[in-house]
Amino acid sequence: MKENLYKYILGIADNSLILGQRMGALTGHGPSLETDIACTNISLDLFGQVRSYYQYAAKIAGDGRTEDDIAMLRKEREYVNVLLVEQPDTDFAYTMARQFLFDVYHFMFLTELQKSKDLTLAAIATKSIKEVSYHKRFSSDWIKRLGDGTELSNQKMQNAIDNLWTYTDELFHQTEADKAMVKDGIGVDVTKLKEGYYKQVIEVLEEATLNIPESKYFQKGGKEGIHTEHMGYLLSDLQYMQRAYPNMEW
């Protein structure tokens, strides 16, 4: 089995899985029916991508595991999503800030992944990038609305950005598998995305009349499977059925 490729796919897919799970949980609880429908769409897009990635990963693994086994039957330490996407929905500002901070990265990442020598990954990227382009527009618009809305919304959005900022740097870390995949022309060199990322993010934050966080202290660990304490609870939900009723079809 191509160990590095398998790990690399999980690195991409887990981000979408965990963010999709977070967004999906909001269905029926959003600030308006219209935003509810929009957020569910984002969740559905992400899960669609997730299924393509895991189906491919299952093929690479070749050990009889299915997309669902990979999605739902790993231990917490085996999930390699970035910490950003697992952060809870403290309020709608957090939801949109998390989405925005990920979308800007996600769009840049997929743009590069389209050029991958791995044709399956390139094809998934090409399909997904249209969805993600829309996510980015949607979340950027909400950053501006809440940042430049009322005093209260500005405070809340500032608070969300300040608190999530610490998770942005990890997006540009490389694991050993990442490095190997970059060398093979399959993976994206995320270190090269960093500058453009902050430039884009800052542009939107400024338009939204938000302050750019100055903190230089960043958190990391997700890519190595060391998560925040929120992750275990998210996984208990995600895995509940597969754990409580092992080896059954649904």
Q: Looking at this protein, which amino acid is placed at residue 195?
A: E
Nearer to other proteins, 53 or 197 (CB): 53
Taking residue 132's Cβ as centre, other Cβ atoms within 10 Å add up to 25
Distance CA 236, CA 248 (A): 18
Question: 57: closest CA among 66, 49, 48?
Answer: 66
**Of 167-226, which residues contact other proteins (CB under 8 A)?**
none
Give the CB-side neighbour count of residue 91, counting CA atoms within 13 A. Answer: 13
Please tell me the distance from the alpha carbon of residue 6 to that of residue 14, in angstroms, as a whole number: 12
> Between residues 191 and 236, which has the closer beta carbon with respect to other proteins?
236
Q: Which residue has the tokens 């990963």?
A: 57
State which residue, 145 or 173, has the beta carbon closest to other proteins. 145
Binding window for other proteins (CB under 8 A); candidates: 26-34, 103-111, 120-128, 174-182:
26-34
**Among 50-58, 104-112, 167-175, 198-206, which window interacts with other proteins (CB under 8 A)?**
50-58
Q: Are 4 and 177 in contact (CB under 8 A)?
A: yes
Query: Using CB under 8 A, which of 1, 34, 75, 119 touches other proteins?
Result: 34
Which amino acid would we find at residue 203? E
Report the site for other proteins in 117-146 (rule: CB under 8 A). 137-138, 141, 144-146
DSSP calls for 118-133? SHHHHHHHHHHHHHHH
For the record, the structure tokens of 202 come out as: 């800052």
Nearer to other proteins, 4 or 95 (CB): 95
**Could you give the CA distance from residue 118 to residue 116 in angstroms, rounded to a whole number?**
5
With beta carbons less than 8 A apart as the criterion, state whether 105 and 194 touch: no
64 part of the interface to other proteins, by CB under 8 A: no
Give yes or no for residue 37 binding other proteins (CB under 8 A). yes
Tally the residues of the chain: 250
Each residue 82-121 as x (binds other proteins by CB under 8 A) or -, in order, gives ---------xx-----------------------------
One residue of 48, 88, 221, 225 binding other proteins per CB under 8 A: 48
- Out of 25, 122, 129, 182, name the contact with other proteins by CB under 8 A: 25
| Residues engaged in binding other proteins (CB under 8 A) | 21, 24-25, 27-38, 40-41, 43-44, 47-48, 50-51, 54, 67-68, 71-72, 91-92, 137-138, 141, 144-146, 148-150, 152-153, 156, 234, 237-238, 240-242, 245, 248-250
